[in-house]
Chains A and B, each alone.
Chain A
Amino acid sequence: MAGMAQEEIEKELSTVYTVLTYADYEAGLKEERLLGLKCASCGKITCHPMHVCQWCSSRRLERVELCGEGELTTFTVIRVPPEGFEADVPYIPCIIETKEGPCVIGRLDYDAERATPELIGKQVKLSGAYTYEGDKYSGGAHTCPIFKLVG
């Protein structure tokens, strides 16, 4: 009889393609842990998670925890927010180059009125997580890291 056995089809479904999910990444942030992926091909770290190594595209990835420290590469102060963020204004999105290599996006815990370009290049570390509960277009809540200056 032509066709494929149901058991065979179900077995194919069980292949793992996502080593670290967004939900895993966000759950880690809530515990003040920055989770990523280590590549068995090039040895580099991918963070936030992707389905392949962000450096060499290899699929040989393993979960790893980053130290949470890095350097502030850029930031801004948002004064005109999107709907849903009115209560947060002014707030500071930033991009951090982690010690392990990949950059991550998050928020900076710092007085917005004292935020000047001299902040760029400063050392920062993970200090918490910000959870946006979401609106009807965001598919539920999402969480991003919060960083603060070291020292």
Chain B
Amino acid sequence: MRDVAVIGIGHTKFGRASKASLELFSESVLQAIDDAGVELKDIEALFQGAALAGFEEGQVMSAAFSAADLNLGPIPATRYEGACASASVAIRDAAMWVGSGEYDMVIAGGMEKALTMGTLFATRTFAMACHAPTEGPVGLTFPAVFAMAAMRYAKIYDIPLEKLREKMAHVSIKNHKHGALNPLAQFYKKLGALKLEEVMDSKMVADPLSLLDCCPFSDGASALVLCAAEDARKYTDEPVYILGTGQGSGGPLSKMEDITKPVSRISSAKTAFKQAGLTPKDIDILEIHDCFTIAELIALESMGFFEWGEAADAVEDGQTELGGKIPVNMSGGLIGKGHPIGATGASQVYWIIKQMRGEAAKGNQVDPVPEYGMTDTLGGDFGTLCHIILGRSKRKK
């Protein structure tokens, strides 16, 4: 396999969009093309994450229409669906295809317009990524899945639930602080100075998770230009290399041995680290899947950044802030930046690359710029996990 680089990145403003998702996606592609300094005619294939387009705008087979909207010609264009991890699995497969030598330059990314559905129907369609035959009739929701994980976390580590709620609230405070500083975030200039009580006293969604423990529904798109690493310097002085990727699958919640230690995530992260020849100690910045505050804690432990049961304290201690052991979600994460589910994985890569270029917003930028970064994206109730490790220099052979 050849090495693969990201040479161009695009990202629409997250939040409520009036344009159609096809328009949002094309905008992010044009941004990425301009950023890379390449032409649309150079693109040989398109990989698009889109989770619920059929329910949002009555659109399936969206990837073909995206290729058409950009006059990319009859190139292969494929829609990827892995719920909230849709874009990450699209990017991973795109990297595989370029790595294989089949294509030299491709577009990978994703899009979503979840806000068109309204809270009730969006909650219904998001819950479609639960196991329909057994979890469907229960009336399970995504907040409920992570609420049950939080209940279990409190039990296993013997933390009083109110104490855990306080620790989880620090994740929301941190991510909203950085989201409020990010002009592309859904909550830009909003909720940037949350108090503990504001998070804990917000409306209960699924005990013990309240509204400010949850990411919002969002519209948005993000896209990347990938090319063979050997060609990257023809286009940019600052290519970022995809050093390792991993993907893992889970199943119904009841089949998991421990819902606070998702095997799908552990396995996926291990694969990515092994491929990159790196360990958690080498990573300078993370964008991880904080769909709910508890999810950030579980992710940090499952990926090996903290011991089991220690992430809650670490976040409270500021170890995941700027200047801490490992800055996490300096873009605002899903909670502060928004979560257009089909686009999120590409957005995470976008913000890692912005950090590596020193172009993150003031107050969010890691200094000195990170050498290695990693994304973590989760779809469903731990059903689809994907990790991407990025670096400013090529993989050591």
In whole Å, how far is A28's beta carbon from the nearest beta carbon of chain B?
13
Distance of A138 Cα from B378 Cα, bound (Å): 23
B interface, over-half SS? helix
A131 within 8 A of B: yes
Contacts of A60 in B (CB 8 A): none
B204 within 8 A of A: yes
A56 within 8 A of B: no
Q: How many of A's residues come within 8 Å of B, CB to CB?
A: 44
For residue A54, which residue of chain B has the nearest CB?
B255
B222 within 8 A of A: no
Distance of A103 Cα from B258 Cα, bound (Å): 11
Q: Mark A72-109, 1 if CB is under 8 A from B, else 0.
A: 01111111111111101001011100000011111100
In whole Å, how far is B183's beta carbon from the nearest beta carbon of chain A?
29
Contact for B139 among A88, A103, A141, CB less than 8 A = A88
Q: How large is the interface on B (under 10, 10 to 19, 20 to 34, 35 or more residues)?
A: 35 or more
Task: Contact check, A83 vs B124: say whether CB atoms are below 8 A apart.
Answer: yes
Contacts of A80 in B (CB 8 A): 119, 123, 141, 143, 205-206
Contacts of A110 in B (CB 8 A): none
Contacts of B133 in A (CB 8 A): 22, 48, 142
Name B206-232 residues within 8 Å CB distance of A: 206-209
In whole Å, how far is B381's beta carbon from the nearest beta carbon of chain A?
10
Given contacts A78-B140, A117-B151, A130-B138, 14 further A-B contacts (CB under 8 A): A48-B133, A76-B208, A77-B206, A78-B141, A79-B206, A93-B148, A105-B135, A105-B253, A117-B161, A121-B155, A132-B137, A137-B124, A142-B136, A143-B137
- A binding-site residues for B, Cβ under 8 Å: 22, 48, 54, 73-86, 88, 91, 93-95, 102-107, 115-117, 120-121, 130-132, 135, 137-139, 141-144
